[in-house]
Structure 1
Amino acid sequence: MSKINVFQKIFKGRTPPPTVERAELINGYNAVFTAWSGDAYANDIYRGAIDAIARNAAKLKGSHVVRYQDHTKVDGDCRLNRLLQIQPNPYMSAFDMIYKLVTHYFLYNNAFAYLQKDERGQIKGIFPIRALNAEFLSDGIGELYCRFLFGNGKEVTLPYTDIIHLRRNFNDNDLLGDANTALMPALELAHTQNEGISNSIKSSANIRGILKFTQIMAPEKLKEEKDAFINDYLQIANNGGIVATDQKTEYIPITVNPATIDDKQIQAIKTKIYDYLGVSEKIVNSSYTEDEWAAFYESTIEPMAVQMGLEFTRKIFNDREQAFGNCVIFESGRLQFSSNATKVNLIAQLMPFGLLTVNQALEILNLPGVEDGDKRLQTLNVVDAQNANTYQLGGGNNGKIG
């Protein structure tokens, strides 16, 4: 059986770029991204927080839509929607792709994905890129390229127009998000806490006493007497807790008081990390209320959805296609996370105005649609403002309604 070369399968057929050199930036910084050497992902608090954000962000549904000037919106290319919603590449689902991008986004403040295109320029795959190093280059006419160096030593140079690039803490560099060095003190404290707890546990298992013999014994005999003393008196089975010795031995206990870490100190470090990432502890342990979820969505998930939508739109569609309303949006059924009372109240408020169809109301309640459910129902107490007088006076029916 031949070995599958995933690298060649993804980047096969790439035309070698023209002569390029390192891009010159306005602020003088080098346009080079290097994966952060601080292994933040090894910290349980940091990993748990990123996982909570990534698995909730991965629920976002990417869609190609066409927006018209009259504010109507229609579904776009079904093939592109399949890539965005189901399988962006042969190796992962859409959930996996977004999860990976979001994880890289918070770990490195830069997340990359390669838009694989066919000979006609149509998107046929989206591949998240985990590179050790990324260097921005430019050719003679100012086109931007990105050279990626991977863990296996291989590298590839791709046009920046074919790269989805999401940035966080986008400040100093013209092209890259800043590193997570601001978080290092909190992570070091968290590591020190874990080490302190571990050492405290270990110290309780060290020497607990000195067994002093008043007689001179051979080393073998000393060890034999020590083992016998441990088996007789320092095992859990010694329920009485009493040690009996004669004149030949003297037992001197050693009291070990290991240092303990205050719960408030542990919580302070957690809060520092959670605040840095924009997530609360209740979101991480899934004990949030409806209002707490809404705050998390609006402050963390929704900005990412906007950023992803704009980046996918500008990299997938050219200026002319965008002018005709083609765009990519990432949205989530936020009401799926609302309480039943909120859902029922919303339907009761919106249905009389004809703002929801029957099937839309059923979808909010997580129920299947029905036949002819795309019709809108509206109460007779609400009429078009232009027809209000006609409705009240009965029009040409001599004052009668009906």
Structure 2
Amino acid sequence: MASFLDKIFNRKREPAKTERAEMMSTGAPVFTPFSGNAYESDIYRAAVDAIARNAAKLKGKHIIYSKTDNRRQQGDQYLNRILQVRPNPYMTAYELIYKLVTHYYLHNNAFAFLQKDDRGYLQAVYPLTAQNVEFITDAAGQMYCRFLFGNGQQVTLHLSEVFIARRFFNSNDLLGDTNTAILPTLDLAHTQNEGLEQSIKSNATIRGILKYNQVLSPEKLKEEKEAFINDYLTVRNNGGIAAIDSKAEYIPLELKPTAIDDKQLDSVKKKIYEYLGISESIVNSTYTEDEWAAFYESVIEPLAIQFSLEFTDKLFTEREQAFGNSIIFESNRLQFASNASKTNILKELTPLGLLTINQALEILNLPPVEDGDKRLQTLNVVNADKADQYQLGGKQNEQTGTDH
């Protein structure tokens, strides 16, 4: 029975003779997932989740730019369905982008298999979670990616079949750097969590020494201790008072656990957020319109550009790209604007004929209407090509005294 990977990769075989790709940089082009377990940190995970779930709103589109009139036309609908709805039988487009962005921030490298038919048309997109990725070349100089998965299976894909997104793209010519720079902060965050846990446990427990004024056997001492604990050091002792006779003396031990200052907690959290390029308001969804705009421009938009360029290059030949074929990832930024901003935008743009009725309704989160693709324009705005004719016509009317 064919395995899951065999079904996806259709039993792809490695080229007969290969060798590791040689790069100008000193680092070997081999990827191994970051072993620092950054995703185990609740702060780091929440921050990555905030980026991934917002980036997953991006909508991939195949478009064709017309060189004659500089207009943008809708491309292949089948390709758009793969990019926007169902990239593969096992996940939605939202889930695909979410996973790729999560890998991007956890490992600084994200990989996906672009499954194509014999004519080179895209059939599906599968995100790849590999234990090891090695870049190799064949005798003709063609580059491949050799993936080793957790179950021990290995597959080699031509570079044109692999989507790659890189972060901290510096020391290696083909891969992003690791997240070792944030490890000390993640360790500190883990230490803080453990310190808080121990502090809570210490404060919730009464500790002391029960001193007996007579010699008792070890078994008897243990029995007396258990009895004292059950009688006085449990939640059933509502009064909080212990009554003992002269045979024993209870000496409480005052433990003063070191409390972690709120500023220290905020400092660690801030370092993680700054490392990922976001603010706390984005993570807890309390952002203002300006904060969202800054987040979009600094985090989401760079991702959209990177995804757009990589998909365009891997899905279209140079000739197809020369004829205007490209993939873009975009979202309606105005969906996150305030109602006041939306109203002002509509007041300014609609009279100029820049928006159709349905486009204006979409900005307001309202459903489209029939015949809503019309553009409305105020008569106070004249076509630039007819401005001179309009002005000259007015002067002629004044000279002849006619009224039109």
Which category describes the TM-score, using the shorter chain as reference length?
A: over 0.9
Which residue of structure 1 aligns with residue 21 of structure 2?
Answer: 23
- 1:141-220 → structure 2 map (5 Å cutoff): 141-204=140-203, 208-220=207-219
Q: Secondary structure at the match of 1:215?
A: coil
Which residue of structure 1 aligns with residue 60 of structure 2?
Answer: 62
Decide which moves more: 189-198 or 299-308.
189-198
Amino acid at match of 1:240: G
Alpha-carbon distance between aligned partners in 2 of 1:125 and 1:330, rounded to the nearest angstrom = 17
1:121–1:233 CA distance, 2 compared to 1 (3 A) = same
1:358–1:205 CA distance, 2 compared to 1 (3 A) = closer
Which residue of structure 2 aligns with residue 307 of structure 1?
Answer: 306
1:399–1:303 CA distance, 2 compared to 1 (3 A) = farther
| CA shift for structure 1 position 47 | 0.5
- 1:93-104 → structure 2 map (5 Å cutoff): 93-104=92-103
| CA shift for structure 1 position 181 | 1.1
Q: Secondary structure at the match of 1:145?
A: strand
Alpha-carbon distance between aligned partners in 2 of 1:18 and 1:365, rounded to the nearest angstrom = 58
Which residue of structure 2 aligns with residue 135 of structure 1?
Answer: 134
| CA shift for structure 1 position 118 | 1.5
Q: Does 1:367 align with 2:366?
A: yes
Amino acid at match of 1:342: S
Contact 1:17–1:158 (Cα < 8 Å) also in 2: no
**Cα deviation per residue 1:85-121 (whole Å; 9 max; x = unaligned)?**
0000011100010001000101111100010111222
| CA shift for structure 1 position 231 | 3.0
Decide which moves more: 375-384 or 199-208.
199-208
| CA shift for structure 1 position 379 | 0.7
1:401–1:20 CA distance, 2 compared to 1 (3 A) = farther
| CA shift for structure 1 position 347 | 0.4
Alpha-carbon distance between aligned partners in 2 of 1:353 and 1:204, rounded to the nearest angstrom = 68
Identity of aligned residues (%): 62
Amino acid at match of 1:247: S
Alpha-carbon distance between aligned partners in 2 of 1:67 and 1:243, rounded to the nearest angstrom = 84
Contact 2:206–2:233 (Cα < 8 Å) also in 1: no
Alpha-carbon distance between aligned partners in 2 of 1:66 and 1:341, rounded to the nearest angstrom = 34
**Cα deviation per residue 1:159-184 (whole Å; 9 max; x = unaligned)?**
01110000111111111111111111
Contact 2:14–2:155 (Cα < 8 Å) also in 1: no
| CA shift for structure 1 position 392 | 4.3
Contact 1:313–1:327 (Cα < 8 Å) also in 2: yes
Amino acid at match of 1:92: M
1:199–1:401 CA distance, 2 compared to 1 (3 A) = farther
Contact 2:171–2:177 (Cα < 8 Å) also in 1: yes
Alpha-carbon distance between aligned partners in 2 of 1:147 and 1:15, rounded to the nearest angstrom = 11
1:364–1:401 CA distance, 2 compared to 1 (3 A) = farther
Alpha-carbon distance between aligned partners in 1 of 2:402 and 2:342, rounded to the nearest angstrom = 38
**Cα deviation per residue 1:118-147 (whole Å; 9 max; x = unaligned)?**
122211010011111100001122111010
Q: Secondary structure at the match of 2:25?
A: coil
Q: Secondary structure at the match of 1:177?
A: coil
Q: Does 1:76 align with 2:103?
A: no
Which residue of structure 2 aligns with residue 46 of structure 1?
Answer: 44
Which residue of structure 1 aligns with residue 260 of structure 2?
Answer: 261
**Cα deviation per residue 1:234-291 (whole Å; 9 max; x = unaligned)?**
2334343333222111111111111111110010011101001011111000010111
| CA shift for structure 1 position 20 | 1.1
Stretches (4+) displaced over 4 A: 392-402
Amino acid at match of 1:370: V
Contact 2:13–2:155 (Cα < 8 Å) also in 1: no
**Cα deviation per residue 1:44-92 (whole Å; 9 max; x = unaligned)?**
0001100000000000000001011222111111111011000000111
Alpha-carbon distance between aligned partners in 2 of 1:13 and 1:119, rounded to the nearest angstrom = 15
Decide which moves more: 248-257 or 223-232.
223-232
| CA shift for structure 1 position 205 | 5.3
1:52–1:401 CA distance, 2 compared to 1 (3 A) = farther
Query: Which residues of structure 2 form unaligned runs of 5+?
Result: none
| CA shift for structure 1 position 394 | 4.2
